[in-house]
Chains A and B, each alone.
Chain A
C-alpha cells in the first residue's frame, strides 16, 4: 500500500463541518438532537409493540401531569386571586367586567399561565425525571436496556418527551381555567363582602364573555403551542442531563439541578421568542389569518 492519501475538502465544506461539529457539541444542539431522535422514535413506533410503549407514555403523563396537579392547582388558585385582588385596588369605576376579562387574558392566559406551569413542572416533574434517569445510569440500568437490544431513546426518552409535552398542555389549560374561575369567585366575594366600596354587579356570563372577547384567535394557537414547546424543553433537558451521568452517584444531584436551571432559562428564552413572534404576527396582520 502506498502512502495514505489525504482527502481534500474545500474551505466552505470545512467551515460547514466545523459549524456542524460545534453545534452538535453545544447544549442547544444536543437538546435538539435528542428531541428530534425521540420524535422520530415516536413516529416510527412498531405498532405491534405499541402496548409496551403506550404504557410508558401513559405512565409519564400520569407522573408529569396528574401527580403535579395539586401543586399546579394551588399556585393557580393563588395567582388567580392575587391578580384580582391587586386589580381591584386600581379598578376603574366603569367597564368593570371588561377590565377583569382583559386583565385575565393578558396576565394569565397569555403569559403567566404557561410560564408558571412550566416552572412548576420543571421544578417538580423535570427534576424528578432527570434524577430518575440519572439513577438508572448510575445503576447501569440504561446499559442493561441496551444489552437487551432495547434503545433507551425509544424506551425512556420518547415516552417521557411525548408524555411531558401532553401533560404540560393539560396542566397549562388546567392552570388557566382554575385561575380564571378562582379569580371570578374572589372578585364576587369581595364585592359581596364590601358592597359599599364596590357598587358593581359581576356576572359569570359577562366575565366569561369579556375573557373570550379579549382573546385573539392567535391566543388559542399560543394556548396550545406554548405549553407543548415548554414541555418539550423541560423533558428534553431532564433526559439529556439525566443521560449525561456516567456511573458516579455524585453527578446525580448536579445533573438534576442543571436540568432545572436550563429548563427555566430555555423556557424564558422560548417565551420571549414566542411573544415576539406573537406581536410581529399581530402587527403585520397575520393574526387575522388564524
Chain B
C-alpha cells in the first residue's frame, strides 16, 4: 500500500539579492507502507529541504503530495495541517526539544495537547513506556541542555512517536553518534517500524543504514532525485555522485 507519494515536486529558495536557487527539480517518489526509504546526497543538495516540504514546513513551488493516497492541498500545506490530518511526525536533526520542558514533559506535550481528556496516570504510563522503548527512561527528569546528542535524538524520536504517526520523517538521525549508539538507535527504529506499522523516510549520508535496515535509497543531486535503489544496486551505480558517496563510506565489497 502506498504511504507517501510525491510527484514532480519543485522548489527554489528565493533570497533577497540572490539568484533563486533551485533545490528540487521535478522530484518524484513512491514510498510503501512500513517501508524505510533513505534520501542520500552530498551536503547542501537539498535533502533537509525535501523532508521539510514533506512535513509541510516548506511549500513546494509545484507538484503533488499524497499521504496514504490523500492529496494535500498545496495552498494549505502547512506543518500544522500535515501533522494533524495525515499523522506525519518529524525528527529534527538538532532534535529541537522544547528547552524549558523536562524530557518527560517534552514527550508528554503532544499527548496532553491533543488528548486533553486523558488522566495524568495514563499519560505517565504512556510516556514512560515510550522513554523505555527508546532506552532513555533514566533521563526523564532532565532538561534537554544537560543531555548528549544521542540521548536527545532518542527523546526526539520518543516525542515523535507520542504523536502515533503513520509516517515518520527523520533528518540525519545517526549523524554525530558513536558506532554503539548508532547501532542501538537503528535497532530501535527498526523495531518501532514493525511495532507501529509506520513508514519511515530518513535523510542520511550514512549509506550502511540501507543494508542494516533493508532500506531503499534515493540519491539527490543537483535537484534531481534518483529512483530508489537497493544496497546491491547502488554499489554498482555508474553515476559519479553516487560513486563518490559510496567510496566515502568505503562500502565496496573487498
Contact = CB atoms under 8 A, between A and B. Distances in A.
Contacts of B116: 46, 48-49, 51-52
Nearest to A150: B113
B65 to A, nearest CB: 15
B117 A147 contact: no
A94 to B, nearest CB: 58
Given A149-B114, A150-B113, A143 B84 contact: no
Contacts of B189: none
A98 to B, nearest CB: 51
| Most-contacted residue by chain A among B55, B96, B97, B110 (CB, 10 A) | B96
B112 A149 contact: no
Give the one of A143, A148, A151 with max B CB within 10 A.
Answer: A148
A143 B92 contact: yes
A152 to B, nearest CB: 9
A144 interface: yes
Contacts of B96: 139-141, 143-144
Given A143-B96, A147-B57, A49 B83 contact: no
Contact of A144 (B80, B84, B88, B98): B98
B79 interface: yes
A150 B109 contact: yes
A192 to B, nearest CB: 49
A135 B88 CA distance: 25
A151 B109 CA distance: 12
Interface in B89-120: 89-90, 92, 94, 96-99, 109-110, 112-114, 116-117
Interface residues of B, number: 27
Given A146-B78, A149-B114, A140 B94 contact: yes
B97 A149 contact: no
Contacts of A48: 116-117
Given A49-B113, A151-B80, A143 B57 contact: yes
B163 interface: yes
B214 to A, nearest CB: 27
Contacts of A136: 98-99
B89 A147 contact: yes
Contact of B84 (A52, A139, A149): A149
Contacts of A146: 56-57, 78-80, 83
B159 interface: yes
A143 B94 contact: no
Interface string A126-155: 000000000110011101111111110001
Given A49-B113, A52-B109, A146-B78, 18 more contacts: A48-B116, A48-B117, A52-B113, A136-B98, A136-B99, A140-B94, A141-B97, A141-B99, A143-B79, A143-B96, A146-B79, A147-B57, A147-B79, A148-B89, A148-B109, A150-B80, A150-B110, A151-B80
Interface of B: 55-57, 78-80, 82-84, 88-90, 92, 94, 96-99, 109-110, 112-114, 116-117, 159, 163
Q: Which 3 A-B pairs have the closest CB atoms?
A: A146-B79, A48-B116, A149-B83
